[in-house]
Structure 1
């Protein structure tokens, strides 16, 4: 089924010129075209239309995902929040006190991947050694790429420590490319960098809407 995603502003890749009223036409897992909404709408008049507020960009790449998912525990809300608090737990001593098992790591990783999807993440870089964590990542739909050198601590927000949003983009939005993108409730890239990836309102991977802010 053809789906036309349109937003106030379209950014197709690092350094590209933002297009007001731009859109991405998706067929299954792939992008057919990216360009002005009027042109794509005329080309595919029967496509389902999803209108989003803000800026539509390539999805983001989270680096240091092994630290985010295998060395960070995300308490189960609401069941563990009273005892553990709502913040992610890190540190060897703190994690040892939790008596982590592989199954518990898997449950935590599922919550962690949901947090990443809610920040426009479509791919993660890292090597996973815990089987249940690998399974959680694969089932989430996130692509896994080899780790790359990076500065600073791993963060749920891939824009943290970046000089531009384009540095965190994973791929570009063009004909034939995988349909992996995100929409942020901001006016432009400058506001996106100022407010961060928590402004995400939608994340699409392989043409599927895997996160939508309620």
Structure 2
């Protein structure tokens, strides 16, 4: 099935200007076409309209530290949703639960890739099952937000191209500058699947 994602601005490649009223046509897990909505409309596709800026998926460069050195509390613990110092004696099962919550929170910031490698088996399993791409990294401490003060171009995992992976995020923004200033993520699509949608 085809899905056409329309957005106020579509930035397929950080080195090129964005498309105004652009769209990304997704076929399965890949990008079929990118272009102005007026040219891609009318295809036999489900249309998702996003009032924001669509950009390639981002990479969280602090994944190893966030998932293996920090604890992501369960909402029932009423400890917030930010990473904390891990409680003493976390079992492998609790590390796995923490990693799953951390990965979901990364998706909510537009991440489609995360740095590893992961030594804990339960964390490695959670990362594999999440679908996020695992890249080599150095494990430095950092935030859940892949941008966290970085320019957008330095946080992009890879450009969106026809025939490439349908990995992208949509931000509640009017401009690329709004995205860099911390606009909230409306949706994250990974391998053509909508894995995060802000409620």
Normalising by structure 1, what TM-score?
A: 0.88
CA shift digits 1:8-66 (9 cap, x unpaired):
11101112101110000110011111110111114xx2111010111000010001211
Matched, 1:185 2:172: yes
Once residues 55 and 148 of structure 1 are traced to their aligned partners in structure 2, the CA distance between those partners, rounded to angstroms, is 30
2:148 aligns with 160
2:103 aligns with 113
1:69 aligns with 67
Which one of the candidate residues 116, 119, 140 is aligned to 1:126? Answer: 116
CA radius of gyration, larger in: 1
2:84 aligns with 89
Number of residue equivalences: 198
Once residues 165 and 93 of structure 2 are traced to their aligned partners in structure 1, the CA distance between those partners, rounded to angstroms, is 32
Once residues 72 and 115 of structure 2 are traced to their aligned partners in structure 1, the CA distance between those partners, rounded to angstroms, is 19
2:195 aligns with 210
2:126 aligns with 136
Once residues 74 and 175 of structure 1 are traced to their aligned partners in structure 2, the CA distance between those partners, rounded to angstroms, is 36
Once residues 9 and 114 of structure 1 are traced to their aligned partners in structure 2, the CA distance between those partners, rounded to angstroms, is 25
Once residues 56 and 179 of structure 1 are traced to their aligned partners in structure 2, the CA distance between those partners, rounded to angstroms, is 12
Structure 1's consecutive aligned runs of 4 or more residues displaced over 4 angstroms after TM superposition are none
Which one of the candidate residues 46, 50, 55 is aligned to 1:48? Answer: 46
Give the 3-state SS of the residue equivalent to 2:105 in structure 1: helix
Return the offset for 1:161: 3.5
Matched, 1:171 2:158: yes
Matched, 1:103 2:93: yes
Higher-helix-fraction structure: 1
Once residues 49 and 129 of structure 2 are traced to their aligned partners in structure 1, the CA distance between those partners, rounded to angstroms, is 27
Give the 3-state SS of the residue equivalent to 1:111 in structure 2: helix
Once residues 35 and 61 of structure 2 are traced to their aligned partners in structure 1, the CA distance between those partners, rounded to angstroms, is 29
- Unaligned ranges ≥5, structure 2: none
Normalising by structure 2, what TM-score?
A: 0.95
